[in-house]
């Protein structure tokens, strides 16, 4: 789903948007936007007035009525176009996803040990809980969880990444998505979604906007816009009898007309933001989709913009994720070569990055190369979360490698002594932000392996930027408090949670929320699900479990924990764009007020000529100039609505003051200049009286 484009819009997207603009002229569709529906009604009214003028019933010059009607219709079309072009991007993404979703034949089996009893059924007929067998080159027929086997899976149809990923039973990489393809081995998958409710179906619905609901902020703003529109409607309607009465008293013809008042109402109503409001929301979701993040609701994007606390995993987010063996520290007079030999032997079957780095260190610093273990009759002890140790038994010898406390208990169980020197070495490594692994042989401590976490380049600067934004960062790690404190200080985070457990994460989020904070976090495992469900913004990794995906309100298709920072930026940009354009739209009304009202009533009240500061040619030219500007500014602001107002990592007060100057003061000045220029052009080409 990597949909980044080099061009702002393509020719195909433009043509599709133009077509959809006319489709959206249906009254039922227009009713969804009350402000623009008023413009729609005004366009219908002025069109009817023009038809009446052809039969001699006219309240203004027929040419003027026609011009107003045409401009109002274009205003409605431009608003529809803004929404259509925002939706068009999502529809293009949805079309690509639909191409990936095919109704394939699935190999349904009764159980993992009865793989030869295959029943071939259409993928649309699969139900939640069914078991399917998927082999090399076959498409996974539905969302599910691997319950047996391990295989490479091509997820490029979903993520846009061509490199296959490993999916296997157990652990946090068991979830698979329908529409992806197995490229090696075989998988037995338990279906976890009903037909039509798959992850791909949800993606299609979200990106094309079919399931987009207005957010609370969007609804609140629309209520405000409707309230302003009603006020302007009442004011405009009251102007006609007031003008008629004043003209009668002065023995003059009423200078106002229904056509002019309709134009005035459209100009005074907040039509600019009314036209762009929906496009801003859709574009915000589209920008998130282009970052390969799927938001389950627009509300979560807005929440991301208001987040003030980020919970970030240490491994893979703050650090590179692969701790490296940095140093061997012998204790109690142990020869360092003996320590290196034992460390290497205990790590030969350890396929973790840390285990492999120990083997590399022993080779590079001590010349210890691979050895033949066949004659040793070695038995390797795998690492478990319970024992927190691994090791090897061979020729009557026992070597254990693991966390300090675990090895201490092992040594005590063997009748050995855990030395003071070892404790000091462990504490020293922890204070430096490293991870100590103690090595023991036959109940005797040999020394300590110093595993070093590598802080990602530029991460400290990123956290400094977040601090400027008013966002507090909290590092979550399973390390002991000493190690966590050292890494937190080096990375520049504001706080940390050491020896983190699922319960600890959940409690921390609840405590922060109780204090009024909005919290965001990432996670990928089943044990992260409770915390993800509690967080205000929860980003689940696409590589994670089904439980994590269901608990989160966003899914990162790239499975990058650092994506959370980008999500916050996009959320803030969405809120800024909506606020800035609302400010600009309302500020515009000031200029349009000075353009139309003095021109309309100068005949009745000559003193109003002082307000005609633009020196517009006539009432007709003033009205036409104002509504032409009102229509064109919608088109001019479409690129800004889609791209979003530029966000900078500066304090909120500074950002607010800058945007008030640009979009508030700019919103007042720009219309004065534009309306005057349009008036001069109308006069130049003889289009007004």
Separation CA 597–CA 612 (nearest Å): 9
User: For residue 451, what are the β-bridge partners?
Assistant: 325, 435
The first and second tokens of residue 209, run together, are: 């906007």
Give 319's DSSP letter. Answer: B
The question of whether 95 is a catalytic residue gets the answer no
- For residues 675 and 614, the answer to whether their CB atoms sit within 8 Å is yes
Which has the closest alpha carbon to 33: 270, 299, 301? 270
Separation CA 86–CA 285 (nearest Å): 10
Distances (CA, A) of 127 to 114, 198, 200: 19, 11, 16
Separation CA 409–CA 254 (nearest Å): 99
SS3 for 550-612 is HHCCEEECCCCCCHHHHHHHHHHHHHHHHHHHHHHHHHHHHHHHHHHHHHHHCCCCHHHHHHC
Q: 313, 479, 528, 679: which one is catalytic?
A: 313
Give 281's DSSP letter. Answer: H
Bridge-based pairing state of the strands 389-394 and 379-381: antiparallel
Bridge-based pairing state of the strands 309-313 and 472-476: parallel
Distances (CA, A) of 508 to 501, 523, 548: 10, 15, 18
- For residues 150 and 182, the answer to whether their CB atoms sit within 8 Å is no
Classified as helix, coil or strand, 106 is strand
Burial degree of 7 (CB within 10 A; 0-12, 13-18, 19+): exposed
> Residue 518: CB partners within 8 Å, gap ≥ 6?
303, 306, 307, 308, 309, 536, 537
Radius of gyration of the chain (CA): 34
Q: Which residues are catalytic?
A: 313
């Amino acid at each position: 789903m990597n949909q980044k484009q080099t061009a702002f819009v393509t020719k195909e997207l433009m043509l599709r948007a133009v077509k959809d603009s006319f489709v959206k002229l249906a009254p039922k569709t227009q009713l969804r936007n009350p402000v623009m529906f008023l413009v729609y009604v005004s366009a219908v009214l002025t069109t009817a007035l023009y038809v009446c003028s052809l039969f001699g019933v006219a309240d203004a010059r027929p040419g003027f009525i026609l011009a107003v009607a045409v401009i109002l219709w274009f205003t409605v079309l431009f608003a529809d176009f803004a929404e259509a072009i925002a939706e068009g991007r999502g529809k293009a993404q949805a079309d690509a996803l639909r191409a990936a979703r095919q109704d394939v034949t699935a190999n349904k089996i009764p159980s993992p040990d009865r793989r030869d009893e295959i029943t071939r059924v259409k993928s649309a007929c699969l139900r939640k809980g069914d078991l399917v067998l998927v082999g090399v080159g076959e498409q996974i027929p539905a969302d599910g969880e691997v319950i047996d086997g391990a295989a490479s899976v091509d997820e490029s149809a979903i993520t846009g990444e061509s490199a296959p990923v490993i999916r296997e039973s157990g652990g946090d990489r068991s979830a698979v998505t329908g529409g992806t393809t197995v490229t090696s081995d075989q998988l037995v998958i338990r279906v976890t979604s009903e037909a039509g409710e798959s992850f791909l179906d949800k993606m299609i619905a979200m990106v094309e906007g079919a399931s987009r609901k207005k957010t609370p902020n969007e609804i609140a703003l629309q209520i405000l816009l409707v309230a302003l529109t009603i006020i302007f409607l009442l004011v405009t309607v009251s102007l006609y009898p007031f003008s008629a009465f004043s003209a009668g008293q002065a023995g003059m013809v009423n200078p106002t007309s229904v056509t002019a008042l309709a134009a005035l109402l459209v100009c005074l109503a907040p039509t600019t933001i009314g036209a762009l409001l929906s496009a801003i929301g859709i574009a915000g979701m589209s920008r998130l989709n282009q970052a390969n993040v799927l938001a389950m609701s627009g509300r979560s994007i807005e929440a991301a913009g208001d987040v003030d606390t980020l919970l970030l995993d240490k491994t893979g987010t703050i650090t590179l994720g692969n701790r490296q063996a940095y140093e061997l520290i012998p204790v109690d007079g142990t020869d360092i070569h003996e320590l290196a030999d034992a460390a290497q032997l205990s790590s030969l079957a350890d396929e973790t990055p840390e285990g492999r780095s120990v083997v590399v260190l022993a080779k590079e610093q001590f010349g210890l190369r691979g050895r033949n273990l066949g004659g040793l009759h070695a038995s390797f002890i795998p690492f478990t979360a319970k024992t927190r140790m691994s090791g090897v038994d061979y020729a009557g010898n026992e070597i254990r490698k693991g966390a300090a406390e675990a090895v201490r208990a092992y040594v005590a169980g063997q009748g050995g002594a855990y030395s003071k020197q070892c404790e000091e070495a462990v504490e020293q490594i922890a204070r430096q932000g490293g991870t100590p692994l103690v090595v023991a042989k036959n109940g005797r401590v040999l020394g300590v392996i110093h595993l070093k976490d590598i802080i990602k380049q530029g991460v400290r600067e990123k956290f400094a930027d977040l601090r400027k934004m008013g966002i507090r960062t909290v590092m979550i790690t399973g390390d002991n408090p000493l190690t966590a404190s050292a890494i937190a200080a080096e990375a520049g985070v504001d706080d940390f949670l050491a020896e983190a457990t699922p319960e600890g994460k959940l409690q921390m989020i609840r405590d922060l929320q109780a204090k009024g904070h909005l919290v965001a976090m990432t996670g990928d495992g089943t044990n992260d699900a409770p915390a993800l469900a509690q967080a205000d913004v929860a980003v689940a990794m696409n590589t994670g479990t089904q439980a994590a995906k269901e608990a989160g309100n966003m899914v990162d298709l790239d499975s990058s924990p650092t994506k959370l920072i980008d999500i916050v930026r996009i959320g803030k940009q969405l809120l800024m764009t909506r606020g800035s354009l609302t400010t600009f739209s309302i500020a515009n009304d000031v200029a349009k007020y000075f353009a139309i009202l003095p021109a309309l009533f100068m005949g009745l009240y000559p003193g109003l000529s002082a307000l005609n500061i633009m020196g517009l040619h006539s009432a007709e030219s003033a009205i036409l100039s104002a509504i032409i500007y009102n229509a064109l500014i919608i088109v001019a602001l479409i690129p800004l609505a889609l791209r979003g107002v530029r966000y900078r990592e500066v304090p909120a007060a500074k950002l607010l003051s800058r945007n008030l100057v640009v979009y508030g003061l700019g919103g007042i000045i720009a219309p004065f200049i534009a309306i005057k220029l349009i008036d001069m052009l109308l006069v130049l080409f003889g289009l007004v009286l």
